[in-house]
Amino acid sequence: ASKEADLKIVLLGESAVGKSSLVTRFASNAFDADKESTIGAAFIVKKYYVTDPETNEVKLINFQIWDTAGQERYQSLAPMYYRNASVAIIVFDLTDISSLTKAEFWIAELEAYNREEHKIQILLVGNKSDLSKNENDNQISETVERLKVPYFKTSAKEGTGVDELFKYIVDSIDDG
Ligand code: GTP
Ligand code: MG
């Protein structure tokens, strides 16, 4: 690899929406149906190689991922983890509309932080697409339109949409 870049990412969202499962799918291409709820936060490093289609040059991206704990009692710790992040992935559960309300809360908090001259790129992810029967689609699309953030649907269980999400992140830092 002739080029190298570090990329700091934070995941935020209500407990049990699948933040840790998304990271495990991305970092190890695995899924654990009995995943333990995260305590405090977990730090995961993942090396990711991308080839420039024009120059064939290989670039190494060192993903540095803070996977935060969604349980209410850890909420006040979040700024420690998003403070230095370049990208924030806000996750909700497509089958649990209350988790979308929590996602809106995190987006508002990060937008407030960004108003103080920070530039965290905010992405919204609806996870557990394998369980979803599109029951909340109207409310979700209304919210996505209003928030004006890039939106992805994923299944950490089946792997659907996970590559697209991280590919989007890699492409957007390449431009910047
Ligand atoms: P906290 O660490 O408590 O904040 O939760 P989390 O957001 O990290 O959720 P976690 O990854 O631990 O997943 C919670 C539960 O949902 C686990 O039982 C997972 O196996 C399950 N789960 C996660 N993603 C998916 C998915 O895409 N589909 C299905 N069917 N289950 C999922
Ligand atoms: Mg977790």
Closest ligand relative to 17 C-alpha: 1
Distance from C-alpha of 134 to C-alpha of 66, rounded to nearest angstrom: 30
114 C-alpha to ligand 2 centroid (Å)? 25
Q: ipTM of this predicted complex?
A: 0.99
Pocket, ligand 1, Cβ cutoff 6 A:
13, 15-21, 32-33, 35, 37-38, 69-71, 127-128, 130-131, 155-157
80 C-alpha to ligand 2 centroid (Å)? 16
Phi, psi of 111 (to 5 degrees): -65, -35
Among 140, 160, 137, 158, smallest CA distance to 149 is for 140
- Cβ-based neighbour number of residue 150 at 10 Å: 15
104 C-alpha to ligand 1 centroid (Å)? 19
pLDDT digits (tens, 9 = 90+) for 144-175: 999 999 999 999 999 999 999 999 999 887 65
User: Would you state the structure tokens that stand for residue 106, as one six-digit string?
Assistant: 């995190």
User: What's the pLDDT score for residue 53?
Assistant: 83
